Chains A and B, each alone.
Chain A
Amino acid sequence: MKSGLDSSTLFKNLRGLKDTLVGELFMNRRFVVGFTIFLGLVLLGYVGSLFAYPDPWDISIYTGTTICTPEYRFLPPSPGHPLGTDQGCRDIYTWLVVGLKNSLWIAAVAAIISTTIASTLGLIAGYRGGILDDIINFVSNFLMVIPMFIVLLMLVSYVPPEARTSLLVAVMIGLTSWPGPTRVVRSMVMQHRAADYVDVAKLMNFSITEIIFKEILPNIASYIFLIYINAFSGAIFAEVGIGAIGYGPWDAVTLGRTFNNIIYGGLVFVGAWWSFVTVGLVIVLLSYSLLLINLGLQHVFNPRLKLTYYAV
């Protein structure tokens, strides 16, 4: 933009648009419900862990010793242990909130990785076309046919346990979840490639990088945000899945690990329903709230969906 007047009016318009979008979002009931639940869970993870025991593994704070004795095993809920204790005398509430916090972090990192790869590849493939597009499209189609959860499981089981850190697990989840989103971004970019504003940018001698990242990217940013939410939800499920099987991160307590503990610790058979119902409910509410957020965003971002009411 050459003159300052133009850019300031543009900025104002953008802000106006943003205001209406955000305003519209908070008028959407699904989005509000989903957002509230999600916020509540984030608070449970981050604020709740302030009220938990400092170390999920350290039982000596309330037992006095590091040895687990039967009187501290499978305790029912009490003020000291809101969700009781497990077979190793560990406090389940601490495991839940610390696990929730770590799982949210892992999912956020994994989703950033997969969204970044998907956006970059999708933008390049969709805009450039040609042989590069063919290659990217073939690879992502190929990887979409193979169930990525099994590939992820294979990858994490090949890594020695002591090397399996939270970051590595997050990276692996991110690296196995980009093919689907790439296809979405690619088709979105292909729709935008023929748009008038891209033609204008071409006439103004913008370089390809500029057109892709300065012109097209801001226009599909809302969809990329949608993809991020989707990837986040998928990453939570992936982490809980591999964690529950026993191949989650080794250095941190996560929701998957907590679930693994519940499955193998015999909490079901001693009748400690308060533990597994709460942990499972947290996982279910997390994914359900993300689904509601996603549906709400779709409704607001995509006016065509609003006309036909075709929510999947």
Chain B
Amino acid sequence: MVLQIKNPFMRYVLSKAVVYAVLWFLAVFLNFLLPRIMPGDPIRRFIERVYAMGQAPSGGTAQIIPEFEKYMKEVERLFGLNQPPSLQFPSWFLNFIRGDWGFSISYLNLPPVKDLVMQALPYTLALLLPSLVVSWIIGNYLGAYLALKGGKADKVGLSVLQFIAQLPTYWLLIILLFIFYVKLRWVPPIGRPTYMIPSLSWDYIRELLRCMALPLTTLTIVGIGGWSIGMRAYVIYQLNSDYIKYAKSLGLPQRVLGRYAFRNALIPQFTAFAINFGGMFAGNLLVEMIYGYPGMGALLATVMANLDVFAMQAIFTFTATMLLLANFAADIIYGFLDPRIRRGVAEVIS
């Protein structure tokens, strides 16, 4: 059966969807396979860990709980390890799609991994989304300004921005923490006001902002560096293109030329934004750890420290899914914003 789709944009979307579906399946399979083929046998160590949890210490000596064999059988059944290897992947995969992501052994009450992710996600988004949006907007204008201005300001500005973009976020955060907490005592050293009851009152919001001021500032500053360097390069590329030269020869004012270049340079920045949006779901591990912030990065650190293999798998699969979705969205946005692809005049260059 050959699908006949007339609309070139729909054809583009469909072809991309097929590619990303294949990529997603491969990513999930790789994620499933890795702990099973790694040296050191992480699954074995995981089972040993669960075994150790079953030994209740009493009076200084480890005592095996009664019916231990039965207990271990139950554990193997819960993680699907009693099935033949060829069946383990399909059952795990179907469970993942159905929303059954298994449970985590990192916490005493053995919570479902999905609940853990859903708890951590709002915190991560609250931290990373504002800084991503703000740094994207400021970075775009700053980069375009430097590219259009040129000369000395551009050279100095570029050097400064290159330096800023190289800064590790965790180091900048530590320095700001030292200045504004240790020396000046302006902000608390935690990511949210745990000493207050969450509410929508003005007091709570002000306190929350005070807590998040440092990580937000850090991520925004470093982000501005990266976004503006990219935008500057794209605007310069546009300024060197034929259509701008032609428009210049027609005598269009510099302001109008700048606007054309800016609009076209924004297209790759939009797609990069979408990709970064997807990357956000992994959280920022080091910043969250330094700040004791309960986001995705901190969750990942916790399950990794406990060698919670199945929770790790679920979280990585979730992260990869969000990333691939974001990349897919980026391709769609690109195709939509670029009229050459939207009308099917040209194939996308990838």
Contact = CB atoms under 8 A, between A and B. Distances in A.
Q: Do A and B come from one complex?
A: yes
Interface of A: 141-142, 145-147, 150, 153-155, 157-160, 163, 237, 240-241, 244-247, 259, 262-263, 268-269, 271, 273, 276-277, 280, 283-284, 287-288, 291, 308-312
Interface in B289-343: 289-290, 300-301, 304-305, 307, 309, 312, 316, 319-320, 323-324, 327
A151 B290 CA distance: 22
A284 B168 contact: yes
B233 interface: yes
B290 A271 contact: no
B272 interface: no
Closest 9 CB pairs of A and B: A280-B171, A158-B38, A160-B40, A158-B42, A312-B233, A157-B304, A287-B166, A288-B166, A159-B40
B26 A142 contact: yes
Contact of B168 (A145, A146, A262, A283): A283
B23 A142 contact: yes
A241 B289 CA distance: 12
Contact of B38 (A159, A240, A308): A159
Contact of A310 (B174, B240, B282, B305): B240
B148 interface: no
Nearest to A277: B175
Nearest to A287: B166
Contacts of A309: 236
Interface in B172-209: 174-175, 177-178, 182-183, 189
A263 B174 contact: yes
B318 to A, nearest CB: 12
Contacts of A146: 27, 320, 323
Contacts of B166: 284, 287-288, 291
B316 A244 contact: no
Contacts of B350: 141
A154 B290 contact: no
B174 A271 contact: no
Given A158-B42, A276-B174, A284 B167 contact: yes
9 contacts: A150-B316, A153-B285, A158-B42, A160-B40, A163-B39, A263-B290, A268-B174, A269-B189, A280-B175
Contacts of A287: 166
Contacts of B34: 154-155, 158
B45 interface: yes
A12 to B, nearest CB: 38
Given A153-B285, A276-B171, A284-B163, 17 more contacts: A141-B350, A142-B23, A146-B323, A157-B312, A158-B42, A159-B38, A245-B289, A246-B305, A271-B183, A276-B178, A280-B168, A280-B174, A308-B240, A310-B233, A310-B237, A311-B158, A311-B233
Contact of A145 (B162, B236, B327): B327
Contacts of A147: 279, 282, 323
A5 B230 CA distance: 50
A263 B182 contact: no
Contacts of B178: 268, 271, 273, 276
A302 to B, nearest CB: 14
Most chain B CB inside 10 Å of its own CB: which residue of A158, A163, A287, A309: A158
Contacts, number: 104
B229 interface: yes
A263 B42 contact: no
A145 B182 contact: no
Contact of B323 (A145, A160, A246): A145
A288 B182 CA distance: 28
Contacts of A284: 163, 166-168, 171
A151 to B, nearest CB: 8
Contacts of B290: 263
A154 B31 CA distance: 9
B167 A244 contact: no
A268 B182 contact: yes
Contacts of B170: 244, 259, 263
Contacts of B177: 268
A33 to B, nearest CB: 10
B35 interface: yes
B286 interface: yes
B120 to A, nearest CB: 15
Contacts of B39: 159, 163
B233 A154 contact: no
Contacts of A244: 170, 286
B316 to A, nearest CB: 6
B240 A150 contact: no
Contacts of A269: 182, 189
B282 A150 contact: yes
A145 to B, nearest CB: 5
Given A268-B182, A271-B178, A287-B166, A263 B289 contact: yes
B14 to A, nearest CB: 18
B168 A240 contact: yes
B284 to A, nearest CB: 11
Contact of B174 (A155, A159, A163, A262): A262
A245 B175 contact: no
A234 to B, nearest CB: 12
B21 to A, nearest CB: 12
Contact of A154 (B175, B229, B240, B316): B316
Contacts of B240: 308, 310
B45 to A, nearest CB: 7
B130 to A, nearest CB: 21
B312 A154 contact: yes
A263 B286 CA distance: 9
A268 B292 CA distance: 14
Contacts of A273: 178
A163 B229 contact: no
Most chain B CB inside 10 Å of its own CB: which residue of A146, A153, A160: A146
A10 to B, nearest CB: 36
B305 to A, nearest CB: 8
